[in-house]
Amino acid sequence: MWWMMNEGGGHYCSKKSDDICGDVCGQESSRLSMSRIRCILRGIDFKTYIFVFVMIPTCIFGIYLHGQKISYFLRPLWESPPKPFHDIPHYYHENVSMETLCKLHGWGIREFPRRVYDAVLFSNEVDILTLRWQELYPYITQFVLLESNSTFTGIPKPMVFASNRDQFKFVEPRLTYGTIGGRFKKAENPFVEEALQRVALDQLLKIAGITDDDLLIMSDVDEIPSRHTINLLRWCDDIPQVLHLRLKNYLYSFEFLVDNNSWRASVHRYQTGKTRYAHYRQSDEILADAGWHCSFCFRHISEFIFKMKAYSHNDRVRFSHYLNPKRIQRVICKGADLFDMLPEEYTFKEIIGKMGPIPHSYSAVHLPSFLLENADKYKFLLPGNCIRENG
């Protein structure tokens, strides 16, 4: 085609060219694309190079390291807060009669107290279990404990309670102990195994002899109702069918008070065929200041590492160095987060207000009496004793 050729027989370029890419015309077609790329690169200034090859990879790496924090910080944009509980004021003084206390809550008084069953799934929390059962001992009809040889994440575990059962002789006459074999499905959602163990706990409760209108405490081992709270509920008539307990929320020990908003613990008036053991919200009613939730309150560093790998939120261990014993010890004494996470809140005000380490508390008032009576043995749970034992 003569209009596409120049006098020398070469290709004719009908497009305007500049000094940068003027030599592209006349190139062989196989070399044309590479020439254009070279032209484009020659036309990019140094600042653009910096942006493309430094800033973008840095941003990608930052998202990889802190993506979870970004997600948690932006949570108020994509998730609304749950419906507020109806808080029931909690009245108590050791010198006030039970009839008066029940009346203050708007309840009647019974002729005799209800029976009370305390049921828990057990992993490895020997010290906290001791504290719990000693606190509740005077008012519990039957202690019910289920233990598995598998964690929720499918990791084999020793039968810790069975190995330490001699420490709990004080509850032996009132203990119903059961075991369940693990399925060891590591790729499965941990909450599936947890749910199956809770179903098994329902069956164990029936073996323990629970009947209609008995009180059933549903809570994790480290969610401890106060003794006087359970005594109140067993004596008072017309209490809610399902009542959540608002607990003081501690981390690592009673030195680090996070807030007063732990709510998953609950007390049920048992109904055959209807009551199911669960650990989620089951009512809008909640009783204020009803006990303590002491999360990750362990004596040994190895216990921290075990729980971090074993419990249902093990996906929070995003990097192997999170499990380094020296790091864990530093985090405990600082009151920081083991998983380097932002607070799980629903408003920017609450998130920002709780960012950073938890302030140290130096109050040991209104704690479980057994803890104070045995302070030397359990000093790791008291203010000013953040150093943990190795092993």
Of residues 84, 120, 142, 90, the one with CA closest to residue 281: 84
Laid out side by side, the sheet with 142-148 consists of 86-88, 285-287, 242-245, 266-269, 215-218, 116-122, 142-148, 175-180
Predicted confidence at residue 42, as pLDDT, reads 63
Top pLDDT among 201 and 60 is at: 201
Range from 14-28, 147-161, 323-337 that averages highest in pLDDT:
323-337
Distance CA 363, CA 255 (A): 8
Distance CA 387, CA 181 (A): 35
Kindly tell me the sign of the dihedral angle through the C-alpha atoms of 137, 140, 141, 143: negative
Kindly tell me the sign of the dihedral angle through the C-alpha atoms of 84, 85, 88, 90: negative
**Mean pLDDT value across residues 284-288:** 98
Top pLDDT among 354 and 60 is at: 354
Predicted confidence at residue 16, as pLDDT, reads 47
Predicted confidence at residue 342, as pLDDT, reads 83
**Mean pLDDT value across residues 175-195:** 89
**Mean pLDDT value across residues 209-223:** 98
CATH of domain 84-298: 3.90.550
Of residues 227, 222, 216, 223, the one with CA closest to residue 134: 227
pLDDT band at 26 (very low <50, low <70, confident <90, very high): very low
Give the phi and the psi of residue 16 in degrees, each rounded to 5.
Answer: -70, 145
The two structure tokens encoding residue 359: 């302030």
Predicted confidence at residue 238, as pLDDT, reads 95
SS3 of the chain: CHHHECCCCCECCCCCCCCCCHHHCCCCHHHHHHHHHHHHHHCCCHHHHHHHHHHHHHHHHHHHHHHHHHHHHCHHHHCCCCCCCEEECCCCCCCCCHHHHHHHCCCEECCCCCCEEEEEEECCCHHHHHHHHHHHHHHCCEEEEEEECECCCCCECCCHHHHCHHHHHHHHHHEEEEEECCCCCCCCCHHHHHHHHHHHHHHHHHHHCCCCCCEEEECCCCEEECHHHHHHHHHEECCCCEEEECEEEEECEEEEEEEEEECCCEEEECCCCCCCCCCCCCCCEEECCCEEEEECCCCEHHHHHHHHHHCCCHHHCCCHHHHCHHHHHHHHHHCCCCCCCCCCCCCHHHHHHHCCCCCCCCCCCCCCHHHHHCCCCCHHHCCCCCCCECC
Model confidence pLDDT, tens digit, residues 297-352: 999 999 999 999 887 666 788 889 999 999 999 999 999 999 998 888 879 888 89
Mean pLDDT check: name the lowest of 62-66, 116-120, 154-158, 270-274. 62-66
Predicted confidence at residue 302, as pLDDT, reads 95
Percent of the chain with pLDDT over 90: 66
Mean pLDDT taken over the chain = 87
Q: Give the HSE-up count for residue 26: Cα atoms under 13 Å, Cβ half-sphere.
A: 8
pLDDT band at 52 (very low <50, low <70, confident <90, very high): low
Record the pTM: 0.82
| CA triple 300-380-93, angle to 5 deg | 135
Model confidence pLDDT, tens digit, residues 75-129: 788 888 889 999 999 999 999 999 999 999 999 999 999 999 999 999 999 999 9
| CA triple 299-304-308, angle to 5 deg | 160
pLDDT band at 7 (very low <50, low <70, confident <90, very high): very low
Give the phi and the psi of residue 72 in degrees, each rounded to 5.
Answer: -70, -35
Of residues 137, 138, 146, 139, the one with CA closest to residue 119: 146
Mean pLDDT check: name the lowest of 131-135, 254-258, 305-309. 305-309
Predicted confidence at residue 146, as pLDDT, reads 98
pLDDT band at 142 (very low <50, low <70, confident <90, very high): very high
Predicted confidence at residue 184, as pLDDT, reads 83
Predicted confidence at residue 310, as pLDDT, reads 82
pLDDT at 6 exceeding the cut of 70:
no
Residues constituting the chain = 391
252: left (phi over 0), alpha (psi -120 to 50) or beta: left
Of residues 342, 382, 318, 363, the one with CA closest to residue 73: 342
Distance CA 156, CA 344 (A): 30
Give the phi and the psi of residue 75 in degrees, each rounded to 5.
Answer: -55, -40
Domain ranges of the chain: 84-298
